[in-house]
């Protein structure tokens, strides 16, 4: 396999976009975005979509190519991304992929674990229990139904917790039984580049980014999206907190602090996810690009 997918990973606001553009320029190739928040054309400021200058500096794919009114799954993205990679590899044996959505990135590289369809009302009921009774009750339910997943899953993440529970309840089998099947074969070799920073630096960069987003007009963007606040695509950091402000539940100052806090929590989860992957080549976020390129080229066969 002489095709290479160079994937840039790391926490939000760490500088993945800038590095990926430098790599795309060096290898004279395109960038595939695996950031699930940046798929939607109605979302600009709150998802840190690359600027027009950045988009012009290298050809990007899967940036603002869907609508918030579309249903789009990780499985569909996997198919679309692999199809795009097949066409890109015809003209260049190296393609760059960048994004903060670990699940989407992993789907392209390794394939997905496939789960049975379950009745949607199971998820509705679990979401209602989460809201009314809190997360601990659901955690204990998973401990009872699937002890292995209780130990290995990120049970503080309500989305993942509810996903595991709905599979257990809907299929009558353990969620862990559907995991870790043989992975899909791919026609490329993945090379993973991870960017890291000291936690204090990382959190400061996040706080500064949120302040910049507010200056750029994130509140007005949220106001325009407010009539559609219940859409799945809008259940995300940066928008849901401002919807709470518009609902009168938060003051604006509290909403901004909540965005910062929830973004820091998201970054922490990204770090935890990436730490599990021993195939990532880690670099300080300030590392000179040519040091990273030298490492990548040393991994070419």
What secondary structure does DSSP assign to 205-260, as a single string?
Answer: HHHHHHHHHHHHTHHHHHHHHGGGTTSGGG-STTTHHHHHHHTTSS-HHHHHHHHH
Does the annotation flag 189 for ligand binding?
A: no
Check residue 225 and give its pLDDT.
98
Residues 6+ positions from 287 with CB-CB distance below 8 Å: none
Q: Which residues of the chain have pLDDT under 50?
A: none
Check residue 1 and give its pLDDT.
62
Does the annotation flag 15 for ligand binding?
A: yes
3-state secondary structure of 70: coil
- The answer to whether 267 touches 12, Cβ cutoff 8 Å, is yes
**Cβ-count burial of 5 within 10 angstroms (0-12 exposed, 13-18 middle, 19+ buried)?**
buried
Check residue 178 and give its pLDDT.
84
Check residue 263 and give its pLDDT.
96
Does the annotation flag 170 for ligand binding?
A: no
Does the annotation flag 11 for ligand binding?
A: yes
Does the annotation flag 10 for ligand binding?
A: yes
In this structure, the number of other CB atoms found within 10 A of the CB of residue 3 comes to 18
Does the annotation flag 179 for ligand binding?
A: no
- Domains of the chain plus CATH, in order, are 4-113+182-298 (3.40.50.300), 120-178 (1.10.20.140)
Check residue 301 and give its pLDDT.
76
Does the annotation flag 197 for ligand binding?
A: no
Residues 6+ positions from 240 with CB-CB distance below 8 Å: 229, 234
- The answer to whether 11 touches 100, Cβ cutoff 8 Å, is yes
Does the annotation flag 236 for ligand binding?
A: no
DSSP string of 86-145, one letter each residue: HHHHTT-SEEEEE-S-HHHHHHHHH-PPP-----HHHHHHHHHHHHHH-HHHHHHHHHHH
- Indicate whether this model's pTM tops 0.75: yes
């Amino acid at each position: 396999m002489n095709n290479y997918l160079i994937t840039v990973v790391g926490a939000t606001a760490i500088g993945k976009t800038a590095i990926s553009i430098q790599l795309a320029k060096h290898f004279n190739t395109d960038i595939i975005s695996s950031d699930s928040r940046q798929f939607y054309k109605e979302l600009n400021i709150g998802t840190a979509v690359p600027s027009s200058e950045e988009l012009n500096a290298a050809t990007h794919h899967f940036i603002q190519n869907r609508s918030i009114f579309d249903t789009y799954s990780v499985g569909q993205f996997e198919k679309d991304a692999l199809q795009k990679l097949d066409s890109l590899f015809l003209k260049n044996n190296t393609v760059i992929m960048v994004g903060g959505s670990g699940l989407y990135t992993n789907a392209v590289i390794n394939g997905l674990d496939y789960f049975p369809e379950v009745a949607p009302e199971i998820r509705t009921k679990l979401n209602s229990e989460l809201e009314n009774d809190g997360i601990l009750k659901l955690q204990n339910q998973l401990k009872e139904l699937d002890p292995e997943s209780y130990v290995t899953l990120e049970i503080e993440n309500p989305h993942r917790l509810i996903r595991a529970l709905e599979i257990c309840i809907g299929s009558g089998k353990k969620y862990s039984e559907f995991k870790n099947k043989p992975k899909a074969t791919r026609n490329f070799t993945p090379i993973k580049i991870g960017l890291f920073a000291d936690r204090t630096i990382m959190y400061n960069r996040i706080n500064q980014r949120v302040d910049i987003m507010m200056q750029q007009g994130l509140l007005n963007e949220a106001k325009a999206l407010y009539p559609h606040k219940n859409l799945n695509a809008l259940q995300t950091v940066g928008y849901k907190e401002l919807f709470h402000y518009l609902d009168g539940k938060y003051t604006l100052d509290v909403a901004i602090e909540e965005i910062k806090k929830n973004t820091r929590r998201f970054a922490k989860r990204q770090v935890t996810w990436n730490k599990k992957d021993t195939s990532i080549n880690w670099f300080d976020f300030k590392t000179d690009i040519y040091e990273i390129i030298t490492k990548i080229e040393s991994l070419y066969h």
